[in-house]
């Protein structure tokens, strides 16, 4: 049984390997291996389990809903779907009043891009040069952080914008700081030069997670929206990892006062269960419908995951987890800042709420090797951490504990990371 992974599993992580441990169970912020070893989960599973693992109310919802109604024909609707649509749009500003529920973030982005192309009549898509939006066709075409080599050409019309990375700025002002306005202007000058006049959508994350936890500078999102609307493009925000309180507000775009034309949610909406959503205005939905919008899957608007989504909203509202994410985020950020003062290899700490990044620098050894060594040591000491997989950025940790973590768990994770940095081999 132990060699089943080598004998029977297809590997899918772009050259990476599976964790050596086999996981037996998980609860709250703790993962337990088959041999009884405990790991503190600082990635919320796949950056998704914002309520921790095996939350009792989610477990109860799954049991109750599965006994009553789990799956339906795609043209049928159920009360959990109708309720979730009403409640979820109620957490959003106008005019985001229309929703469809899918399974994964890739599906949601695929549907959003399909809708944007149909409504605008264009086909060209802009996204960040370190983006990750999924592995299905259109989503993969808009993904630049990995997975582009060896698969043949993507669909025509995909353009990359430079990433506004303030720690490693490529265009600077007189003081050496990132000049993101000039960078954005240059990026769109290049896009305009390449476009055939068929720009349809700009698909971006408010905080690039797989791209190194890059928080867009204040003002950037509004400027990007203006660039899009000047060209007749729709602004599509992918809040798979930032939505539903993760960054300390219900949605990351709230900080900038920018409402997207289309919003996609996934990971956090199901709190680790497969649930995604596309949300847009009644006007855009009507235009898409009039033009024959077609996007459905086997599990579109399924009742079981929709019921889970309703429970997720219950817990987020009742337990004020937006506020809790701010408080825990401040505690975690303060601890990471202290580590930066104590360890010279910590080059930068960044992010928002409970989505934080810590970037290691090591000119002699290389950040990729150092990041791998620190990750291994963290695991040995009982902390699961995740590093960015981009070449040259393998020393950047994506730190995203559950919103339900305790103060003591945050402190323990910081203590383990401190020791791992000190023990780096």
* Three-state DSSP state, 199: strand
pLDDT of residue 2: 65
pLDDT for the residue numbered 397? 96
In sign, the C-alpha dihedral spanning 373, 374, 378, 381 is positive
Confidence (pTM) = 0.97
Tell me the CA distances in angstroms from 267 to 67, 102, 420, one per residue in order. Answer: 24, 11, 29
pLDDT of residue 392: 62
Which tokens belong to 126?
Answer: 């802009």
- Non-local (6+) Cβ contacts of 95 within 8 A are 259, 281, 282, 283
Strand order of the sheet with strand 276-281?
Answer: 96-102, 276-281, 262-265, 234-238, 199-204, 124-128, 158-161
Give the pLDDT confidence score for residue 362 in this predicted structure.
87
- pLDDT value of residue 146: 87
Separation of alpha carbons 419 and 130, rounded Å: 31
Number of neighbouring beta carbons within 10 Å of residue 103: 19
Structural domains for the chain? 4-54+320-423 (3.90.1150.10), 69-318 (3.40.640.10)
- Give the pLDDT of residue 339: 98
Q: What angle do CA 346, 351, 355 make, to 5 degrees?
A: 105
- The two three-digit tokens of residue 195, written as one number: 């476009």
Enzyme catalytic residues: 132, 205, 238, 241, 267, 398
List for the chain the helix, strand, coil content (%; round to 5).
Answer: 40, 20, 40
Render pLDDT for 222-246 as a digit per residue (tens, 0 to 9).
999 999 999 999 999 999 999 999 9
Question: Which pair of tokens denotes residue 257?
Answer: 């006062």
The pLDDT, as a whole number, for residue 367 is 87
Q: What pLDDT score was predicted for residue 155?
A: 87
Give the pLDDT of residue 159.
98
All residue ranges of the chain with pLDDT < 70 are 1-2, 389-394, 425
**pLDDT on residue 131:** 94
User: CA-to-CA distance for 236 and 260, rounded, in angstroms?
Assistant: 6
């Amino acid at each position: 049984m132990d060699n089943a992974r080598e004998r029977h599993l297809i590997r899918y992580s772009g050259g990476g390997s599976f964790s050596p441990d086999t996981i037996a169970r998980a609860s709250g912020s703790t993962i337990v291996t088959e041999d009884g070893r405990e790991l503190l989960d600082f990635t919320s599973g796949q950056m998704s389990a914002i309520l921790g693992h095996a939350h009792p109310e989610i477990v109860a919802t799954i049991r109750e809903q599965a006994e009553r109604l789990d799956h339906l024909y795609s043209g049928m609707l159920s009360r959990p779907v109708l309720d979730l649509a009403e409640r979820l749009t109620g957490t959003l500003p106008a005019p985001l009043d229309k929703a469809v529920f899918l399974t994964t973030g890739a599906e949601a982005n695929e549907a959003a891009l399909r809708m944007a192309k149909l409504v605008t009549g264009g086909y060209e898509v802009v996204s960040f040069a370190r983006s990750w939006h999924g592995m299905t066709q259109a989503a993969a075409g808009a993904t630049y952080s990995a997975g582009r080599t060896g698969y043949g050409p993507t669909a025509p019309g995909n353009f990359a914008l430079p990433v506004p990375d303030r720690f490693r700025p490529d265009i600077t002002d007189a003081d050496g700081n990132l000049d993101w306005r000039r960078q954005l202007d240059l990026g769109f000058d290049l896009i305009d030069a390449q476009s055939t006049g068929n720009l349809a959508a700009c698909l971006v994350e408010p905080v690039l997670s797989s791209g190194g936890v890059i928080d867009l500078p204040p003002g950037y999102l509004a400027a990007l929206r203006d660039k899009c609307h000047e060209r007749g493009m729709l602004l599509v925000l992918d809040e798979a990892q930032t939505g539903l309180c993760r960054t300390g507000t219900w949605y990351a775009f709230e900080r900038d006062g920018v409402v997207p034309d289309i919003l996609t949610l996934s990971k956090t909406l199901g709190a680790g269960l497969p649930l995604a959503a596309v949300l847009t205005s009644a006007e855009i939905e009507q235009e898409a419908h009039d033009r024959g919008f077609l996007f459905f899957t086997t599990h579109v608007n399924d009742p079981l995951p929709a019921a889970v989504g309703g429970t997720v909203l219950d817990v987020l509202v009742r337990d004020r987890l937006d506020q809790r994410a701010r408080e825990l985020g401040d505690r975690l950020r303060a601890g990471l800042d202290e580590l930066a003062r104590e360890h010279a290899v910590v080059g930068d700490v960044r992010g928002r709420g409970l989505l934080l990044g810590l970037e290691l620098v090591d000119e002699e050894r290389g950040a990729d090797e150092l990041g791998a060594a620190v990750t291994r040591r963290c695991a040995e000491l009982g902390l699961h951490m995740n590093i960015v997989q981009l070449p040259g950025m393998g020393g950047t940790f994506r730190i995203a504990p559950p919103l339900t973590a305790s103060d003591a768990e945050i402190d323990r994770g910081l203590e383990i990371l401190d020791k791992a940095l000190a023990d780096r081999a």
